[in-house]
Amino acid sequence: MGGSTCGGGLRTLVRLERRHVRANARFLLFAAGTDIDEERDLLDRAYQLYLLIFMAVSLTLSFAQVLDLAGQLRDALGVAVSARLAHLLLVLAPAAGLVAWGVSDLRETPLRLAAPDITWLARVVRPEELFVVRLLRDLPCVALVSALGGALLGEIASAHLGLWAAACAVLMLTARLFALDTALPRSVAEPRRRRAATVVASAIVAASGLALLLAAGPLAALLPWALSLGVYSVVVVLLVDLLLLGMAGNRSCYADMAFVVDDSELYAARRSMRFLALADSNAYKEACRRRRAQRNRRARRTWRFRPGRLAPVSHAFASLVRRPSALLGLLSVGGLLVPMGALVMTLRPGVGVTLCWLVCACLALREPLELGHVFREDCRNRLVRSLLPFGRLGLLVLDALPALVVTLAASCAVSVACAAALGTDALTVALLSCALDALLALSCGLDDPAAPVRLGSVLLTSFSFGAVALVAVGLASLLGATSALACAALLVVLLARALR
């Protein structure tokens, strides 16, 4: 009887997931002018098949173009340098995935339920059934995306693409399953022990990510030997994945469904608004922020701000603690965008590679930087801003200090690790990263509506100045890393004088 009930629950979940996939496909194809439920004759089905073939061919050709760009990067850097870079990225990718998945699973239970699931399935299905179906949905996507990324790294390393794709896929699956094993005890623990389980799991995730980051250089040096074993190395990692999968499945049997339902509230709200992100991403983010604020309102504590000049710093620190999602924006800038730019400017692989980084950086600047979030909020509050005894530059520095410390720490750690692995001057890369971080932080001071900065008739904003400044530093890097560092330092001084 128990086996029949278990099988029925699995069949119910699989049918529900299939209906979810069909509903999502219907919405996306409706934007292309067809409805898979209403239009079922031969010509309509032929058009729908044409759309699918067109999308598949477009994605294939796009990935082929990306592989060609990776080959150009390899030729510009040289085979030895590009191989070291590929090995380093193959180590850093699982580390980044482990931290990202770990933080996500600790913020919300991995056994996430949508609103209809909470209403109709929470008392019917068992937690292990829910866990199995979620894995069947998520793990193939992780493996596919990771395999494509591994093939890209294999092209950069000028190695066998299939082996690199398989190696990257199994390593990312290991990171995903390790994050699951670490976060699931939070959903299993008794209410009075849940906080302790969360703290322990957070410490494990942080320590694991930090250990992988610090050991990135030695691990990258060992990768050529591991990959030389071919399929055997992939099989060994797969066995580890199976062990982690068994441990996660065993823990999921004891999950507290009452806690799972309560912890899935924000996920259910986000999922109900998921298509809004395609039409208006800012409205979607604001709606998600309001839902999080409503949920966490009763958990907030009263902060005692320090007196004097430490008051804005303590306020900014409290804002960062209350908004842990802001760390993702800070780490994306300090741990990815800026160090990659510093490496490109130091190694000078070519104008094309520098131009690609500049385009990516300018696209990233379209969204307001997290470095200036507290400063922008203080400037919007005109009543409070007029009472603060700080100038614009002083308030910006004090408001951005906690976020800037996080960004500088991430930039220095990633820059030194990457420079050591690629055999370039770590000090130059670290200094250039710090200068770019300071330049981006100071550019946030141009978002003060009460004191606009103009260059003639042109109004300077953080986006316009940041984009022009990065282009100027990128062009200076064509003359050498020292020229880029001098240009960045000069722009920092000029902007600081303009903000006084």
Which residues does residue 455 pair with via DSSP β-bridges, in sequence order? 458
Residue-wise pLDDT for 312-335, tens only, equals 777 778 777 777 777 878 888 888
Single-letter residue type at 34: T
* Cβ atoms 404, 371 nearer than 8 A: yes
Please state whether beta strands 458-460 and 453-455 pair in parallel, antiparallel, or not at all (unpaired): antiparallel
pLDDT of residue 299 exceeding 50: no
If you ran DSSP here, which 8-state letter would residue 17 be given? Answer: H
Kindly state the average pLDDT of the residues 493-499: 85
Say what the pLDDT of residue 384 is: 67
Say what the pLDDT of residue 434 is: 92
Alpha helix ranges (H) inside 31-114? 42-77, 79-107
Kindly state the average pLDDT of the residues 478-495: 89
Alpha helix ranges (H) inside 348-391? 351-364, 373-380, 382-385
pTM of the entire predicted model:
0.69
CA–CA gap between residue 475 and residue 182 (Å, rounded): 45
pLDDT band for position 2 (cuts 50, 70, 90): very low
CA–CA gap between residue 429 and residue 437 (Å, rounded): 12
- Whether the CA torsion 183, 184, 189, 192 is positive or negative: it is positive
Phi, psi of 455 (to 5 degrees): -115, 90
What six digits make up the tokens of 296?
A: 């966490």
Single-letter residue type at 263: D
- Whether the CA torsion 189, 190, 191, 193 is positive or negative: it is negative
CA–CA gap between residue 430 and residue 417 (Å, rounded): 10
| The most confident of 27-36, 378-387, 421-430, by mean pLDDT | 421-430
- Point out the least confidently predicted range of 303-317, 338-352, 391-405: 303-317
Single-letter residue type at 465: F
DSSP H or E stretch at residue 235: helix 231-252
Say what the pLDDT of residue 490 is: 92
pLDDT band for position 111 (cuts 50, 70, 90): confident
Say what the pLDDT of residue 280 is: 64
* Cβ atoms 125, 12 nearer than 8 A: yes
- Point out the least confidently predicted range of 105-119, 215-229, 357-371, 412-426: 105-119
- Environment class of residue 458 by beta-carbon count within 10 Å: exposed (0-12), middle (13-18) or buried (19+)? exposed
Of 384 and 159, the structure prediction assigns the larger pLDDT to 159
Which residues does residue 459 pair with via DSSP β-bridges, in sequence order? 454
CA–CA gap between residue 199 and residue 184 (Å, rounded): 13
Phi, psi of 221 (to 5 degrees): -70, -30
DSSP symbols for 272-309:
HTTTHHHH-HHHHHHHHHHHHHHHHGGG-----PPSTT
* Cβ atoms 291, 150 nearer than 8 A: no
What six digits make up the tokens of 463?
A: 């986006």
For residue 263, the tally of other CB atoms under 10 A from its CB is 20
26 closest CA partner among 277, 269, 275: 275
| Inter-CA distances, 466 with 119, 182, 394, Å | 48, 40, 20
